[in-house]
Each structure stands twice: as C-alpha cells, then as structure tokens.
Amino acid sequence: MISNFSTLQKNLKKDTSLMPTIKAALLGDTATQFLATALKGTAIERGFNIDLFEADYNQVERQLLDPDSDLYTFDPEYIIVFQSTHKLLSAFNNLPPEQQHTLADERIEFVKTIAAMVKSRLIYFNYPEIDDTVFGNYANKTERSFTYQVRKLNLMLMECSVANTNLFINDIASIQNKMGRDAMFHPAVYIGSEMVLSLDAIPYVTASALDVISALHGKFKKCLILDLDNTLWGGVVGDDGYEKLELGHELGIGKAFTEFQQWVLKLKNRGIIIAVCSKNNEETAKEPFLKHPEMVLKLDDIAVFIANWENKADNIRRIQSILNIGYDSMVFLDDNPFERNIVRENLPEVMVPELPEDPAEYLEYLYSLNLFETAAFSNADAERTRQYQVDAERVATQINFTNEADFLKSLNMKSEVRPFNSFNTPRVSQLSQRSNQFNLRTIRYTVADIEKLSRDPRFQNFSFTLTDKFGDNGLICVVILEKKDKKTLFIDTWLMSCRILKRGMEHFTLNTIVDYAKRDGFENIVGEYIPTAKNSMVQDHYSRLGFVPSNENGRHLFVLDVADYQKKECYITTV
C-alpha cells in the first residue's frame, strides 16, 4: 500500500493545480533532501500539494529560535522537525560523563520552547532507539545510559504533546519497531551522505507524517465494515453451525479471530463505527453473536448489521445512507478477494485492504497500514455506536408518522446552548475537523485555536447539544460569529453533525443567532458558503433560511436583515 521512493519521486511530475496547497517547513539536523522529495510525493497521493520550505542543512535551532528567520517569514501551516537519534547520540557522546544523564531533559526543554514559540502546528519526529550497548542490559538500571535517555525522551515527548495542543509526534520509533533497525538505517550510505533514514524507510516515515496532516485536515476513517465468515470467525456459520466456528483458544486457529475481534472492540471503544456486511441469512449471521461464548464482539457493538444475499457494494451503499458519512471514511475488511474487488470497482473511495490469506497474519498486516489515524479524541467518541443505533430506531419510528411536524413534536427535543468552555472545547475542535458535509466554510480548528477564539472579544461562539426521547446526541452543532463592525455579524463557522439533519436544528440555531444579534444591536448577519468536494448539501443553506445572496469577488455571500427576521418554527426547546 505504501509506494516506494522512486514512485513518490515520480509523483512530483503530476499536475497538482487542482489540489489544495499546504505550506509546510521541513527542518532537520541531517540530510533531508530525500525526505523532502518523499514528503511532497506522499502528499500528492493524499490529494495535497505541499509548498515546502527547506531550511539549509542543520539550521533547526537557528530557524526556530530566531523570530526573524526565513522560516517565520515563510509562515508555514506546519513545521516538521526531524532531529535524529544519531545527532542526539553524538551530543550525548560530547557531554562530560557526569552530565550525560541530563540529555533528555535538555532536549525536551528545547521542544517545549519551540512548541510555545511557533504558532503553526509542529510535527516533531520522536527518536528510534540506537542501543550503543555500553551498559548492556544494565542500561535499564541507570540514567547514565543512552538507552535510558532516549526512552525517557520519547516518553517526555508524549507528555509534552498531551500538554501542547499544537504539538504532534510523528512516531518513527514505531516504524523502526515494525521494520527493524537494519532496514531503517543504511550505515554505508549514512557515512557517505549524512542520511540517517534508508531509502526503504523514508516512504513509511513520510506516510506517517501525512497521516497526521491528513487527519488534521479532516481526512480520516470513521467506520469499519466487516465481513463475517472467515473474517470475524473461522468457518462458515451457515454450513458449519455456530457451535463449530473457530473462535477462542480451544479450536483450530480460533485465537487469530479472537485477537482480531479484540482489536475491533478497541476501535469501537475509541469511536470507530463498526458495521457488518455479510452474505448470510440475518438470523444465522446473528446467532454466533448471541450464542457463542467466545465471541468478543456483541450485537450491541455493531452500529449497522446487514446480512442478506445481495451484492456487497449495494449493501455498503445502504450502510452509507444510514450513517450519512463519506465513502472515503470507510474501511471494508473481507477475506474473499472477489467481494473485495466488487467493492473496489463499484465504490473506489472505500478503503479495501488486501487482507492476507492466513488469518494469523491479519493483525500484523492491519497494524502496518495505520488505518485509523485521528487528530482528536474525546469521551463522546466512545458513545458513538449507541448514537447510531438510536438513529436506526428513530428512522423506524418516523415511518409511523405521516406528518413531519407531529413526528418532530413527538421527539421531545431539547438543546443546550453554551459558549465554548473547557468542557466542550475538545468536542468542538473535533467536530470542526470531522464535519465535511454540513459545514459552510470548512475551517478546521484545533483545541488551541478554539481556546484562543473563546478568549477573543471579537468573536461570539455557540455550541449546541441535542437530546430527544431516544437519547443524547451530544454536542452536534457549532457556530462561530465574528463581529465585523458594530452593525455586522459574520458567520465564520456553521457546522452540524449529519446525524441530526431534518430535525429543525437549522431553525433553532438561526433563531439563537438572531436573538443574540438583536440583543447586541447588530443589523445584518452575513453568511458565506465555500464549496468543497463534500459540502454541496449546504450550498442553498442560507437561501433556504431567507438570506439574500450577495456575491462579491466570486465569494458566495448571503445577507440577513435582522429587523425583518421572523422567528422560524421549530420543535426544539432550550434547556
């Protein structure tokens, strides 16, 4: 799945004029030319064009610590910093022995300083270990060993990343764990060239960096769709019966499937939506979930369960229509190459990994793909499966009402409107990164950005939750208003979770905005629609709500006169 270096290099000849451009800077203490080439080539595969600032060799400190440096003049969105373990080792070697135990502390101070200085997002590479074996295994027992210092530093980098919302770690130590040091490092090339990453390793390193960047740009996987027979368990439930399935530690290769299910459960607990798509009778397919004692996954863990004899591409289309998320945020796992190809051909945006033939290899293979990168995590993620199941119930209820208003009234919906605060900031930021469809301007905000906005008097922010008789949807809508002048409010951000479409939430939100505008004496509210590949569902959003189009310099602007506004009907009450 990962292209080799020469393919990445050839990508640079492709036409990138239609791709969004990201300004990034790459700073390293070793030769980074190949890394720069691969970074650009990998970005093109992910649909980005990187405008890259490359500092001269070994300018990390100078560029980062001098506020007037070329780096800050360039003003990148991302600063990528690769300080190598080799150079760290040589710094260690040059310290007097009695100071060698301060190495990790010194380096982390530098990282903390730059994390505080830069306004961009900082992507910092952690340190793959070099065991100099000076202490042997005793290295674990003394702070004076290099191994001790490297491991301590890697742990402190994680702590630093937890504390600094703009610091992201590119975990190349993990890449070395997977590839092995001998594949990651080519000594003869290093001696002649100052390159510390082998040509084979570089594409993995840049893929990992782009995983971080893509996730921050809202490109990540939200849903895992699973086949059942010989994917989730060994054997064919319709033929063998649920009692004979290979699962658990007793029977055949059951352990492979049990461990695979444990991985899926962890993903579900992290907030990945799990769906089933199987060629089976529904009742037969559900039997193991209900009756087999070794099943790790239960029916409750599955948000959407589809088992029938129709083709899988159509079934995935059904799953998509229920979940209302993009095909490009779905991963489909199936042991059968035929089914995989049908899905690939019909739904090319769905990620379909080439699962190995031997189920024993499933997990290590899947680990190598890093499918589920994320840019944020909150407790609400863990609740997601329940929410989607509730959605399915709600759809069933809706069928019984002939009149939409009656249905909406019956839901007994309540919304809590709050400014951004320390409790909702992680979720607000996450929603700004996840929402693609109902998102008028698709501006992505990190936790740090949201914190800054909530302190800025030029902005008024609202977050909205929604509960109904079926359950709590959590925080589902975000509005950021910019006070352009005394009379004009500009809607910088209006985004909503697609799960709560057609519930009158738009009306409730606009009523809230206009109430605020009236109270503070604003006369006009200006909205803007910035088209993306995914947000066409809201291109008429403002027109539908009674805003008057006013296109300026090619921008799609819409104006609402506050004085003329008639409160919109809706069936949501304020908590």
Partner 1 sequence: MEEEKIMNRVQDIFRDVLDEESLTLKRDTTANDVDGWDSLTHIQLIVAIEKRFKVKFSSKEILSWKNVGELLDSLCSKLNV
3-state secondary structure 43-86: HHHCCCEEEEEECCCCCHHHHHHCCCCHHHHHCCCEEEEECCHH
Dig out the tokens for 28 from the structure.
Answer: 């390293």
For residue 83, the minimal CB distance to partner 1 (Å) is: 21
CA distance 369 to 376: 19
Strands (E), 185-249: 223-226
Amino acid at residue number 2: I
Task: Please say which residue, 191 or 563, places its beta carbon nearer to partner 1.
Answer: 191
* Number of other residues whose CB lies within 10 A of the CB of residue 323: 22
CB 122 within 8 A of CB 79: yes
Rule CB under 8 A: say whether 10 interacts with partner 1.
yes
Which CB, 40 or 222, lies closer to partner 1? 40
Length of the chain: 575
Pick from 189, 265, 322, 448 the residue near partner 1 by CB under 8 A.
189
**Cβ nearer to partner 1, comparing 6 with 573:** 6
Total number of residues that touch partner 1 (CB under 8 A): 16
- Asked if residues 278 and 228 have their Cβ atoms less than 8 Å apart, the reply is yes
Question: Which residue number, 5 or 542, has a Cβ lying nearer to partner 1?
Answer: 5
Identify the three-state secondary structure at position 497.
Answer: coil
Report how far apart, in Å, the C-alpha atoms of 176 and of each of 44, 301, 459 are: 24, 33, 45
x/- letters, 157..186, toward partner 1 (CB under 8 A): -----------------------------x
Token readout for 493 is: 């951000």
Please identify, among the stretches 193-201, 266-274, 479-487, 545-553, the one whose residues bind partner 1 according to the rule CB under 8 A: 193-201
- Binds partner 1 by CB under 8 A, chosen from 93, 177, 193, 341: 193
* Residue 89 lies near partner 1 (rule: CB under 8 A): no
Of 360, 171, 361, 371, which Cα lies nearest the Cα of 264?
371
x/- letters, 199..238, toward partner 1 (CB under 8 A): xx--------------------------------------
Check residue 188 for interaction with partner 1 (CB under 8 A): yes
Q: Residue 532 and residue 322: Cα distance in Å, rounded? A: 22
| Contact between 508 and partner 1 per CB under 8 A | no
CA of 434: how far to CAs of 72, 324, 445, 492, 497, in Å? Answer: 29, 13, 10, 17, 9
What would the two tokens of residue 218 be? 């809202």
14 part of the interface to partner 1, by CB under 8 A:
no
Q: Is 195 in the site for partner 1 (CB under 8 A)?
A: yes
Q: Which is nearer to partner 1, 205 or 264 (CB)?
A: 205
Please report how close the Cβ of residue 29 comes to partner 1 at its closest, in angstroms. 18
- Please list every residue from 22 through 81 that binds partner 1, using CB under 8 A: 33-34
Ranges of beta strands (E only) in 227-283 are 273-279
Choose between 5 and 289: whose C-beta lies nearer to partner 1: 5
Give the separation between CA 335 and CA 231, rounded to whole angstroms.
Answer: 6
Residues 318-357, interacting with partner 1 (CB under 8 A): none
Out of 5, 82, 125, 233, the only residue in the binding site for partner 1 (CB under 8 A) is 5
Q: CB 337: neighbour CB atoms within 10 A?
A: 11
User: Which residues are CB-neighbours of 457 under 8 A, at least 6 positions away?
Assistant: none
When asked if residue 12 is in the footprint of partner 1 (CB under 8 A), the reply is no
| Nearer of residues 44 and 480 to partner 1, judged by Cβ | 44
Q: Nearest approach, Cβ of 342 to partner 1 (angstroms)?
A: 35
Min separation Cβ 8 and partner 1, Å: 12
Find out whether 479 and 493 touch, Cβ atoms under 8 Å: yes
Residue 7: CB minimum distance to partner 1, A? 11
In whole angstroms, how close is the CB of 35 to partner 1 at the nearest point?
11
198 lines the binding site for partner 1 (CB under 8 A): yes
Binding to partner 1 by residue 191, rule CB under 8 A?
A: yes
- Residue 131's CB is within 10 A of a number of other CB atoms, namely 13
C-beta neighbour count of 13 within 10 angstroms: 9
Closer residue to partner 1, CB minimum distance, 162 or 188: 188
Closer residue to partner 1, CB minimum distance, 10 or 502? 10
Q: How many separate helices (H) and strands (E) can be counted in the chain? A: 24, 18
Interacting residues with partner 1 (CB under 8 A): 5-6, 10, 33-34, 186-189, 191-193, 195, 198-200
